[in-house]
Structure 1
Amino acid sequence: MDTTAPEETDSETAPPVAPFSQLREPPTTQRGARTRAALVKAARKVFERDGYLDTRLTDITKEARCAAGSFYTYFSNKEEVLAAVLLEAQEDMMHPGMGRVQGTDDPYAVLEASNRAYLAAYKRNAKLMALLEQVAQVEPEFREFRRRRGDAFIRRNARGIVDLQARGVADREVDPMMASRALSGMVSVMAYNAFVLSEEQEGDVPVDFEELVSTVTRLWANALRFPGHH
């Protein structure tokens, strides 16, 4: 979850762009770039449809309408093409931190806008987020990637809480890191339940998006004792 801090660019706070640093350099020809892009697009579709364990490389190449042997020109195995899928989706999944809402410095409005951006990005990428949870259970490198990504967002949120405390908006008695872990975890789990589990369980009533945004924002503000919200 990422709701309270501005964008960071340093290596300590920015989540890794993909779990595999050894991805090959992108092809230099237009034809190669098109083929690789088709494979990545097809891989995301097949992974999200069939799950990581049941996906076969032949399913990906068939979906991409390319020869099976072409796959190995760009990727060594299933793990690498999944890393490429995550890399491509990263920009959308890297929702903005808590910056400023145009026309206002109201911390509650900023918090609400950031929660909305996070939850909207999660909803758009819900199948991919579910896939990452699945893969993290069986692939140590993806598990470490997920951990590092989560920790980076928690650190970023903690800095946002420190800023709010300095401005007299947030409770100064609260430990910023501990609060960030608790509140970030709450919103992440709520997003997973709303956009992943609800899709998997028949008969569940869909969660109202606006109500979800409103609820998590109020809980954040109440927990940090925003003026007028406790």
Structure 2
Amino acid sequence: MARHQQPWATRTARDRTDAPAHGRLLDAAEAVFARRGYGATTIADITAEAEVSRAGFYVYFASKEEIFRVLAVRVRDAFLAAQDVPGVDRDDAREVVAASTAAFIAAYARHLPLLRLLEQQAQTDDDVRALWEETQERPVHRSARYIRRLAAEGKARPVADPLAVARAVGGMSIQFARLTAAAPETYEAAVRDVTAMFLHLLGVDPPR
């Protein structure tokens, strides 16, 4: 059954594999986990949602726990992918900030229900905890490296240590993504506002 697409849906469709059933199972698992919670979700729920047989499920995943962890990896990779901006001049800080901010907010808004579950499961599952911490930290440190490069090249004048700027921008992006998830019509305004604040913290003039 066709689902209504949110404004960010086409921006974050980078996390499919070549096997259609594999992708359907992951999408179905994310939807069911978000709807029912981790404890109440069963493999039968996931296969029914994906319209894949139980035997088909076990071709790709050994258990509910495993598909949940694979989803956690997919979310982590979505945030890392948000910092890869094909078609954008990597030396143009304004373009990079605008594109990466849009992609990050889109990814966070899309995966918000699963992110909440990941944070909960991280309290009791060491593997999920490691993935959760990586999901939080890797994008921040990657952003900090980019800010350091811009500063070293004289293309930015960050108002604080690059890691501190990266953490501040990450926190802002998450807050605006949560608002966007609740009110999708605010997406474009959220991207515009976070982009402006990011450029200010970088010491780069916003585009006219």
Same-fold call, TM > 0.5?
yes
Is the aligned partner of 1:226 residue 2:204? yes
Measured against aligned partners, the alpha-carbon deviations of 1:86-117 in whole angstroms (never above 9, x if no partner) come to 44566545334265754795422321122112
User: Which letter does structure 2 place at the counterpart of 1:94?
Assistant: L
Which residue number in structure 2 is paired with residue 140 of structure 1?
Answer: 126
Is the aligned partner of 1:56 residue 2:42? yes
Which structure has the highest helix share of the two?
2
Report the alpha carbon displacement of residue 191 of structure 1 after superposing the two structures with TM: 1.4
Separation in 2, partners of 1:65, 1:216: 39
Separation in 2, partners of 1:94, 1:219: 21
Separation in 2, partners of 1:111, 1:49: 33
Is the aligned partner of 1:97 residue 2:75? no
User: Which letter does structure 2 place at the counterpart of 1:212?
Assistant: A
Is the deviation greater in 113-122 or in 172-181?
172-181
User: Which letter does structure 2 place at the counterpart of 1:50?
Assistant: R
Which residue number in structure 2 is paired with residue 7 of structure 1?
Answer: none
User: Which letter does structure 2 place at the counterpart of 1:214?
Assistant: R
Is the aligned partner of 1:121 residue 2:107? yes
Query: Over aligned residues, Cα RMSD in angstroms?
Result: 3.5
Is the deviation greater in 210-219 or in 134-143?
134-143
Is the aligned partner of 1:210 residue 2:188? yes
CA contact (8 A) 2:80 2:139 kept: no
Report the alpha carbon displacement of residue 82 of structure 1 after superposing the two structures with TM: 1.1
Separation in 1, partners of 2:122, 2:129: 4
Report the alpha carbon displacement of residue 209 of structure 1 after superposing the two structures with TM: 1.3
Separation in 1, partners of 2:141, 2:108: 19
1:208 partner SS: helix
Query: How high is the TM-score relative to the length of structure 2?
Result: 0.71
Report the alpha carbon displacement of residue 150 of structure 1 after superposing the two structures with TM: 1.9
Aligned residue pairs total: 191
Which residue number in structure 2 is paired with residue 157 of structure 1?
Answer: 143
Separation in 2, partners of 1:228, 1:59: 48
- Unpaired segments of 5 or more residues in structure 1? 1-16, 18-32, 199-204
Which residue number in structure 1 is paired with residue 163 of structure 2?
Answer: 177
Separation in 1, partners of 2:53, 2:95: 51
Measured against aligned partners, the alpha-carbon deviations of 1:60-82 in whole angstroms (never above 9, x if no partner) come to 24444566576556544321121
CA contact (8 A) 1:93 1:125 kept: no
Separation in 2, partners of 1:59, 1:67: 11
Separation in 1, partners of 2:60, 2:128: 20
- Unpaired segments of 5 or more residues in structure 2? 1-14
